[in-house]
Amino acid sequence: MRRPHPSAALRPVFFCLALVLALLAPGCARQTGEPFPVAAYLNAPDNLQGNRYTLEAEIDAQLEWREGTGRLIAVRPLGTEPARLPVFIADTLGANLMVAQRYRLELTVRRGGLLYVNALRKL
């Protein structure tokens, strides 16, 4: 009898690991690009419409919540001048947010300057 290759025993482990990663990949933020320009946004939010940014911020307060739609959250950007920015986090993201938690947010500047969070990851 042919003696199995030692790496063959690890194949199911790698497979499972790959599967888990594949399953977790959509809910995790991915570093997609440039950081969010807070000052530019505060001065002229219309100029940033349609852009996608990454923002690391701390949860400051929940401004409004509408069940089935999502919530408006005020966050404080990390590493920049003190400011508070409103972001929308859809319920579909299934995030559990609490004040003072820090997240990396992948967001899009939508019409009207709405910072729409596409993905987030706790830091």
Partner 1 sequence: MRLLFLLLALPFCLASVAPAQDAGEPAAAVAAPTKAAKAAASKAAATSAAPAVPATASGAPKSAAESALNVLGTGNIESNTLLSIINKAFDTDSDAFNPEEGTVNWKGHTYNVGQFRVFRARFERYLGQPESIDQDVYRAIVNEIFNLLSTRTGEAAAENTRKAWQLLYRASEFESDGGASLSIANEVFNAWRIRDEKEAIGVTQAELDRIRRQQQAAVSYSGDLIAKEGANVVSNASSLPGISGPTTNVNVNGASGAGATKGNTQGNQPASGSSSALSGSATAGPVAQFFRTRDLAETEAKIKASEGSAVITGIAAKLQFQSTLVTLFLQRRFQHCLIAASFYRYIFKGSAQSIEPKLKKEISTFLPSSDLAVTVETLEFLSREAMNETESSMQGVRASYADGQLVAALERLQESFFLGEFLPPVAQFEREKKQVLLNLYKQVDEARKLADLKDYDAVDKLVAQIGATAKDFRTSEVTSALRAAQRMSTLSLYGAQQAAASGDFARAQEGIQRAAGLWPLNPALKTYTENMAQQVDLGSQAAVLFDDASKRGDFRRIYDQRSELAIALLSDAVRGPQLKEIIERISRVEIYLAQAKELEAQNNAFAAWEALDAACTLTPNDVIVNQRRADLAPRVAAFVGRVDSAKRQEAAGNEAAALTQYLAAQGLYPASSLARTGIERVSALLLDELTAAAALAPARPATEAK
Per CB under 8 A, residues contacting partner 1 are: 41-42, 45-46, 63-66, 68-70, 72, 74, 82-86, 88, 90, 110, 112-115
Contact call for residues 18 and 109 (beta carbons, < 8 A): no
CA distances from 48 to 6, 15, 24 (A): 54, 42, 30
Smallest separation, CB 45 to partner 1 (Å): 5
Nearer to partner 1, 1 or 46 (CB): 46
Smallest separation, CB 44 to partner 1 (Å): 9
**Hey, which residues does 115 pair with through a beta bridge?**
87, 109
Nearer to partner 1, 4 or 79 (CB): 79
CA–CA distance, 87 with 74 (Å, rounded to integer): 6
Nearer to partner 1, 20 or 42 (CB): 42
Smallest separation, CB 119 to partner 1 (Å): 17
Pairing of strands 115-122, 85-90: parallel
Nearer to partner 1, 17 or 40 (CB): 40
**Could you give the count of Cα atoms lying within 13 Å of 94 in the half-sphere of its Cβ?**
3
Smallest separation, CB 59 to partner 1 (Å): 14
